[in-house]
Structure 1
Amino acid sequence: MRRYRLRMIASRFDTERLALLPLRVEYAEEMAKVLATPELYTFTGDAPPTAEELAGRYERQLAGPARQDEYWLNWVISSLQDAALVGYVQATVSGSEAEIAWVVGTTWQGRGYAKEAAIGLVNWLRAQGVERIIAHVHPDHTASAAVATAAGLSRTDHLDDGEHLWQL
């Protein structure tokens, strides 16, 4: 028997210190400042996006994928203490599997925000019925490895485009 799922939509959820807010194009200007530090791109080779580039990216993300059985879920991370945007989390869901990613701006790193947001994301996805959660982490990115571990994922020996596959 084939299981059918209603359309999956990112909804706001909170953790102890963070609000994870569904992505909106209006966040592009503030997020461009959050993502402006070149050090954030050490392991990806990318460059900091402009507000205009982010707005275009957010429009595409909000439009969603062409595949009807795939969902792009994106949130910005906001500090409940001062409402500042500090980063983002995202999940691409296909069937009962989700691939997740997280980024916290350098100004806010070292406070446990990435771990808290990733744990919250995994819990949210599990509550939606997602059974398998994966992430890709560069072998030298110890901070992201710690986030993946805290979120309950385990590193596998599988390398994909130079990054280890982590899974729950």
Structure 2
Amino acid sequence: MPTTITPPPFTTARLDALPLDPAYAEEMAVVLADPALYVFTGGGPPDPAALRARYERQCAGSPDPGELWWNWVLRVGEDGSLAGYVQATVRGPRAEIAWVLGTPWQGRGYASEAAKGLAAHLASAAGVRELVAHIHPDHAASEAVAAAAGLRPTGEWEDGERRWAANPPPPARAEKA
């Protein structure tokens, strides 16, 4: 498993996943400004200063040396706007993942594309073999994203959210000639 605090970037067909940087706080505060984004998770829209402070903590990394906090903002290739984020807490071969897309970018398949790209990236860049997400049982859109990324609901619950899990295939290895 890599030990770098800063995750490597990755791309999908329509998105660039860029390592989180506090400099994105002001633009991301606009992306995350709709109170509807917090119906299932609680809380409310962060102001730019609070978001910058959060990003500084996240970029500093986990205080646990065996755990990586990898966070990316999602830039739409077509117009260059930031649209949301994906994140992974990586501990050995297991990663807990999450995603959030700003309201204007929802319904376009970006979240599913980002989650699939994240799953593939974690398998190849960090050797992740188990993915986990926790999803509110009434959040059908997040359930659809999890399913698109290959996760399935389990019978386990935590803080009112259902645990979804997957074991992605190992990354393809190059054949030697």
**1:81-132 deviations in Å (ceiling 9; x for gaps):** 0110000000000111100000000011000000000000000001121111
2:162 counterpart of 1:155: no
Q: How much has 1:154 moved relative to structure 2?
A: 0.5
Q: CA deviation at 1:44?
A: 1.0
Give per-residue Cα distances to partners, 1:9-68, cap 9 Å, x unaligned.
411111000000000010000000000000000001110000001000000000111111
Structure 2 SS opposite 1:69: coil
Kindly state the Cα deviation for residue 136 of structure 1 after the two structures are TM-superposed. 0.2
Query: Structure 1 CA distance, aligned partners of 2:82 and 2:8?
Result: 17
Q: How does 1:3-152 map to 2 (within 5 A)?
A: 5-8=1-4, 9-127=6-124, 128-152=126-150
Distance in 2, Cα, partners of 1:81 & 1:136: 30
What is the rounded CA distance, in whole Å, between the counterparts of 1:55 and 1:31 in structure 2? 9
Q: For 1:53, what is the secondary structure of its paired residue?
A: helix
Rounded Cα–Cα distance in structure 2 between residues aligned with 1:67 and 1:61 = 13
TM-score normalised to the size of structure 1?
0.96
Matched to 2:132, the amino acid is I
Task: Give the gaps of 5 or more residues in structure 1.
Answer: none
Instruction: Give the TM-score taking structure 2 as reference length.
Output: 0.91
Report the equivalent of 2:170. none
Aligned residues: 164
Which amino acid in 2 is paired with 1:80? G
Q: Which amino acid aligns with 1:15?
A: T
> Aligned letter for 2:64?
R
Distance in 1 (CA, whole Å) between partners of 2:97 and 2:2 is: 20
The runs of 4+ residues in structure 1 deviating greater than 2 Å are: none
CA distance, structure 2, for counterparts of residue 65 and residue 7 of structure 1: 11
